[in-house]
Every structure is written in C-alpha cells, then in structure tokens.
Amino acid sequence: MSVSSIPRYTAPYSAPAWLPGGNLQTLYPYFYKPAPRFNYHRERWELDDGDFVDVDWTGGSLNAPLVIFFHGLEGGSSSHYILSIINDLSHYQWRSAVIHFRGCSGLPNRLSRAYHAGDSIEIDWMLQRIANQTHPHANQQPIYVIGISLGGNALLKWLGEKGRDAKKLVTGAAAISVPLDLAAAGAALDVGFNQVYTRHFLNTLKVKAFDKLEQFPGLFDATALKKCTSIYDFDNLVTAPLHGFCNTDDYWRRSSSKQWLEHIQVPTLVINAQNDPFMPASVLPTSEQVSAAVSLEFPAEGGHAGFIQGAFPGKLRWLPKRILSFFHYECV
C-alpha cells in the first residue's frame, strides 16, 4: 500500500448507541483487543545508570515514517490502543517502536526507581536514542510520536520543555486520553465506580512494589504499602520519594503537562473524551491555554483510550485513522 493512498480523515468521533457512557466505552475496548496483523521483534537498551528498557519494533519500509509509542500506566506493546494503531500503520508500511517504561516489558527492572508521569528526562533520552539509531539508515524519514494516558502526559511535558528544539527529533506528535492535570485525575479515580480502575492499577503496582522491597529491603514501609487504597497513597509512599519528589502533591504539581501546552512548537494533536473517567472535562484546556501548534479534539464520548466505532462488536478504527491522517497531512 502506497503512502499516497492514506486518506484524509477528520470526521468527529461518534460513539455507537450499543455502548453508552464513559465507563463502558473505557472497559469494553480493554477486553476486546484487536488481533495484531504484524510481528514484534524486541531490542534491549542498556541505560547509563545500569538499568534497561525493552523496545518492541515492527517492520516496514525504510522509506516510510517511524512512529514511536509511549504507553499508559502499567501498559505496554500488547495494550489494545497500541495494537489498533499499529495495525493501521502496518497497512501503509509505516514502522513502529513501542518503548516500554522501566519494569513494564514483563521483566523487573534492576534499580529501585521505576517510571512516572512526568519523566521527560527519560523521554528525551529515548527519543535521542531513536534519532541516533534510525536516521543513518532511514533516509531521514519523519519520526512521529504517540503518547497514551501517562505516556502522553510525559510526552507533552517533554514537548513543552523542549519547545522549538523538539523539532530536531520529531516531526509531529499525538497525545491520547492524557491526565493533563494529575491532581484532578487522581481525585477522579478516588470516587464512585472509578475506584474499580484504582484497584486494577494498584493490583499490579503493589505487587511490583513488594518485589522491590525484597530486592531493596527498607526502601519503604511494607505495612503502609499494604494499606494503600488510592493512587494518592501509593504515589506518596512509593512513586514520589523514589523519583525525587517531596510527596504526591509535589509530584502531581510538577509533572502535570497542562502547564506546558502553551510552549509546544511541534504540531501536536491532543485527544481527550469529555466522558473520560480519568480526566474531568471541567479541567480540559481551552484553545487560549495552548500554543498554535497544538490541535485540541475533545469529543463528547469515547471513554479513556477507547473510541470504539460501528455496529456490535465494533472496531477500534477511529483513533488510528485520525492520528494517521494528522501525521500525514497536518504535520508540516
């Protein structure tokens, strides 16, 4: 399939009648993963601090663009939102690389630290590595980058911090279902049905944290960890102190990407559903709060990293088509 055949796609998202509400639109796609129409090959990157990250690559044409993915909290290359997008990219022979954050590739990382929502330093190192590794072999084809949820927050923060310099590494970016205001997102996850998502995340986060305690005795209080029932508590005990923050409030304040949107210079598409259970619509940015390089799309429905379309059982097609069209036609 030639690159020239990529269709321009700007249709607004419309949820199917059989899947009403933000929670169903979030949960159903999580369990309805598309079958991958591609194969990954894994590469390990050794980090300067003695740790490592794993990168899952897909094949494609060296004369086509490369798309980098940064996944969400406890996500990875098998996440439904990544599989659906790469299926479309592969159709056009675009290459992909899913960079796992530390400890998210199925194996524990070596150090006491892990990853967090504001780790733009890590994002910068990873994108520098990609550029240095691929440009000599790819005829200077464009590099695009996609961040979803937590990965989208870290990406947007990096784009804002780097400003015009980000153009040296990437041609365009897309950020999907991003907790732009971490304090607001954290508060939303503490109420009502949303506590289901909190328990889901804590199930894996606490297991990893207890593993770290075995590896590094005394790293934090095991009794306090057992009592954690919210993301706020977990971040206060584990994430914040392990990554140089005073506490959860300090971590969320300094790491939220909303404050960086006005400084972004790379063409960037930000998509958040207004019924996303993780991110209240009331704190979504306005066009006056972002730079001219940022395109905001806030459909009324879609859930968190959902955006199912069509008759039952539905397809995860809207997001891939919209992102691919944005990269191909709007990132100049």
Query: What is the pLDDT at residue 138?
Result: 47
pTM: 0.96
Q: List the catalytic residues.
A: 149, 276, 304
Type of residue found at 21: G
Tens of pLDDT, residue by residue over 249-266, are 999 999 999 999 999 999
Distance CA 173, CA 146 (A): 6
| Of 159, 148, 162, residue with least CA distance to 278 | 148
Query: What is the pLDDT at residue 177?
Result: 98
Q: Which homologous superfamily is 3-181+263-330 in?
A: Alpha/Beta hydrolase fold, catalytic domain (3.40.50.1820)
Distance CA 40, CA 77 (A): 9
The mean pLDDT values, 10 residues at a time, for the chain of 332 residues are 77 97 97 93 98 97 95 97 97 97 97 98 98 70 97 98 97 98 97 96 96 96 96 98 98 98 98 97 98 98 97 96 98 86
For 170, residues 6+ apart whose C-beta sits below 8 A from its C-beta are 68, 127, 143, 144, 145, 266
Domain extents for the chain?
3-181+263-330, 182-255
For 239, residues 6+ apart whose C-beta sits below 8 A from its C-beta are 114, 116, 245, 248, 251
